[in-house]
């Protein structure tokens, strides 16, 4: 068994890392696109064909892409840190990165809440709010990438 693990190690870490990055890209795509749909939805008349179409698009994006991608991001990330020597728990950058990932998760949950509001005909915020909120995942993503690549502390 040890020989099998030793032989698979050169493929295990890069493979998990690749799957983690792919899942992150899919999750980020949704986090960046869903607020843009909300911009259009906030301006659409309640009950209109446009509002109905946007509700379907939002639901499919959130449930069909974003939620599975978020689960895979966490799953592959946890699998990576389970590999001995991969996680640098003594370094501050990993904790800062995890804090930013937690913020992305909270943002994801807020998007899900707002989607529910749209689905029941409640418009929580105007389109300007959603335009501003659309920048949040970009700023967080930049922070995560810089922390992972530079590892400043």
pTM: 0.88
Per-residue pLDDT tens digits for 52-65: 999 999 999 999 99
- Which pLDDT score, from 0 to 100, does residue 95 have? 96
- The Cα 87–Cα 100 span in angstroms is 16
Could you tell me if 76 and 14 are in contact, meaning their C-beta atoms sit under 8 angstroms apart? Answer: no
Q: How many CB atoms lie within 10 A of CB 38?
A: 26
Number of domains, the chain: 1
pLDDT at 2 over 90: no
Could you tell me if 26 and 65 are in contact, meaning their C-beta atoms sit under 8 angstroms apart? Answer: yes
Q: How far is CA 135 from the centre of its chain?
A: 14
- pLDDT tier at 7 (50, 70, 90 boundaries)? low
**Lowest mean pLDDT segment, chosen from 5-19, 28-42, 117-131:** 5-19
Task: Name the residue range of residue 45's domain.
Answer: 2-150
Average pLDDT along the chain: 93
**Lowest mean pLDDT segment, chosen from 4-8, 14-18, 65-69:** 4-8
Q: How many CB atoms lie within 10 A of CB 30?
A: 21
């Amino acid at each position: 068994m040890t020989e099998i693990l030793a032989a698979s190690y050169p493929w295990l870490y890069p493979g998990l890392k690749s799957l983690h990055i792919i899942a992150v890209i899919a999750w980020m795509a949704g986090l960046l696109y869903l607020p843009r749909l909300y911009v259009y939805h906030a301006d659409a008349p309640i009950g209109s064909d446009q509002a109905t179409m946007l509700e379907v698009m939002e639901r499919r994006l959130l449930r069909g892409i974003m939620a599975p991608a978020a689960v895979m991001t966490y799953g592959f990330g946890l699998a990576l840190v389970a590999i001995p020597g991969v996680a640098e728990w003594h370094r501050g950058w990993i904790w800062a990165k995890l804090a930013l990932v937690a913020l992305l998760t909270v943002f994801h949950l807020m998007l899900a809440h707002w989607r529910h509001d749209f689905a029941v005909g409640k418009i929580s915020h105007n389109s300007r709010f959603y335009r501003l909120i659309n920048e949040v995942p970009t700023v967080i993503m930049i922070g995560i990438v810089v922390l992972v690549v530079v590892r400043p502390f």
